[in-house]
Structure 1
Amino acid sequence: MDDTIRIVQITDPYLLANIHYPEVLPIQVFENILTHINLLPHPPDLLILTSEVLQQRRNDTLRLLQRLDIPFYWVAHEQNASFNVKGTHFIMLNSCSKNHSQGYLGNDTLDFLQNDLENSWAYPCIVTLRHHPLAIRTLTPPKDTLKDAGQFLSILDQFYHIKAVLFGHIHHDFMLERNDIWFFASPAICPISPNNPAVVFQYRLLDLTSEGEVEVSLMKV
């Protein structure tokens, strides 16, 4: 595992309330998931939240995350950012928009993505955002793709060092390979299917090897 970078993706915790499961406290679920992550035999190198975090529980969220000895990043309501971890380049894009419920990047963010990819060509790259850039069949909303998904994908198609795109918002497990790039979404931490006795709380574990191979699994809590 020394030459492999391990990433945990958790998404859509909705920590303020859980209308479908009033007996479940979302903040307690979140705490249990973080405890589960902390006990993994091979600790992650970083944790990524591909979701918004409601302002009313932001301090609670921070308090729980800061207990971990793992760097964490939010992909929403934050400035676009990029950084390297263990020789892998990460690009974090803010796709939240007050005017577009399905998400919108806008010209400034797309320019940031283009420039950053041009400058990071020597490293394997993972791009993250909250909203889904591919059309996905789902039985529940949201069904609309990212407003400027076409522009986003056309930029990705210009580069060969992108290994994966991580996103949330759809509340379902999803994986698809497109033009040699893997697209991954993980289920929402707090599920949206009411009265389902089979429901479990899940997060995604992603390992990127030094050879550029991507291995993923869903962890159940």
Structure 2
Amino acid sequence: MGAGILTQQLQPLRIVQLSDCHLFADTEGKLLGLNTQFSLDRVLDLIRQEQPNPDLILATGDLSQDASFESYQRLDQALAGFPAPVYWLEGNHDKPAPMLKALNSHHHRMSPCVLDVGNWTIVMLDSTIPGEVPGELFDEDLKFLDQSLRDAKGDNLMVCLHHHPVPMDCAWLDTQVVGSADKFFEVIDRHPRVKAIIWGHVHQEYDSERNGVRMLAVPSTCVQFKPKSDDFAVDDANPGYRWLDLYPDGRIDTAVSRVQGITFEVDFSVKGY
């Protein structure tokens, strides 16, 4: 599926990435002691304050904890207030049927798809395995990726998926790296126009580079996982989002912004979710 959003790019494209909202049908639903609707609302307040006119919003998976229609519908309604197209990735906690049912706005679409945005082409992949936590890109996904990158109209390319394709130096999370990561990077390495790969799932900030490709992860809009932890552990960092400026010449500026001035109630004693 292809979608053209902007046909000419003179200024950097402002992209907003949010991820891992883990919403419930019940607005009082909590993950590890944290009300996920409350934390998402605070992150959206921050985005409205800092990014009043984004060009594109990417929601990179685990948008619901219970895969309920009600949770997706509330997210759809909340994001419909932004003057930008919104694209959703499916995460391991999500289910495509209620997601699709909730997507009433023409501005909201799901992966896999290809977006032509100015001088950039963005390829969005579904890295989920139904009923499983770890990710995988199957042969048909890799063929879709390779063909999409080959046919891309943009001079610069970005790839989005839910699961992390590289280890995070976080032992328990690194058992969930995309199982076909080697094949994934074989495809990426064939296409020098790829400038960035972004993902969710890891509930923490990450910014690195591989063979000239920027590698980026985003905090959750709810609970944060403690970086460099061998076993499951929750961090005390606040919820947040990532913004990216994509320049016509392929340069990328990006940073993470977190909610300030609020203490979020999290149960640090929990050893899993």
* Both structures adopt the same fold (TM-score exceeding 0.5): yes
Partner residue in 1 for 2:175: 143
**Which structure 2 residue ranges, 5 or more long, are not aligned?**
1-8, 91-95, 97-109, 226-232, 260-273
Per the TM alignment, residue 153 of structure 1 is displaced from its structure 2 partner at its CA by 0.7
Give structure 1 regions of 4+ aligned residues with deviation exceeding 6 angstroms: none
Alpha-carbon deviation of 1:42? 6.1
Q: 1:89 aligns with which of 121, 125, 136?
A: 121
1:54-73 aligned within 5 A: 54=64, 55-56=67-68, 57-73=71-87
Q: Give per-residue Cα distances to partners, 1:38-68, cap 9 Å, x unaligned.
A: 2226621111111132232111111111122
CA distance in 2 between partners of 1:84 and 1:121 (Å): 7
CA contact (8 A) 2:202 2:219 kept: yes
Preserved CA contact (<8 Å) 1:165 1:181 = yes
CA deviation profile, 1:106-129 (whole Å, cap 9, x unmatched): 111111101011111652111000
Q: Which moved more, 1:91-100 or 1:38-47?
A: 38-47
The aligned length equals 218
Give the whole-Å Cα distance in 2 for the aligned partners of 1:94 and 1:50: 10
Checking the alignment, whether the CA contact within 8 Å between 2:89 and 2:125 is kept in structure 1 is: yes
- 2:13 pairs with 1:5: yes
**Partner of residue 148, structure 2:** 116
Answer yes or no: is the 8 Å Cα contact 1:13–1:53 preserved in 2: yes
| TM-score, L = length of structure 1 | 0.90
Q: Pick from 7, 11, 32: which aligns with 1:20? A: 32
Partner of 2:254: 216
Cα RMSD of the aligned pairs, angstroms, is 2.1
Contact map agreement 1:104 1:146 (CA 8 A) in 2: yes
Q: Secondary structure at the match of 1:175?
A: strand
How many angstroms apart in 1 are the aligned matches of 2:126 and 2:209?
Answer: 23
Q: Which residue of 1 aligns with 2:58?
A: 48
Is 1:206 the counterpart of 2:218? The answer is no
- Residue from 207, 213, 220 that aligns with 1:188: 220
Pairwise CA distance, 1:192: 4.2
Q: Which residue of 2 aligns with 1:169?
A: 201
Segment of structure 1 superposing worse, 166-175 or 11-20 = 11-20
**Structure 1, unaligned runs of 5 or more:** none
Partner residue of 1:38? 48
Instruction: Give the aligned residue type for 1:69.
Output: P
Deviation at 1:28, TM superposition (A): 2.3
